[in-house]
Amino acid sequence: MTLRLNHRQANQEAYKAMAAMQRYTSNSSVDKVPNELIKIRASQINGCAFCLDMHTKKLLMRGNRIDSK
């Protein structure tokens, strides 16, 4: 399968910033659930369906449900 877009090369500075944020939040005192919710919201704002799907699945694997009620 060919890669549609190599996000590491498309904008290297943005990728470095995103990777640095991931490293920082992984080691922070912020709970994992709000951390994933923040990533879900950022994915919505950025319009990234791939990231939205990935972070939603991660949150659901933690046993949390996202209900509209």
The pLDDT tens digits of the residues spanning 28-56 come to: 888 888 888 988 998 899 888 888 999 99
Torsion, CA 17, CA 18, CA 19, CA 22, rounded to 10: 120
Instruction: Give the single-character DSSP code of 28.
Output: S
Q: Round the CA-based radius of gyration of the chain to a whole number and report it.
A: 14
pTM, two decimal places: 0.66
Across 49-61, b (16+ Cβ under 10 Å) vs e yields eebbeebbeebee
Residues 25, 31, 61: CA angle, nearest 5 degrees: 100
pLDDT at 12 over 80: yes
Q: Which residue has the higher pLDDT, 29 or 63?
A: 29
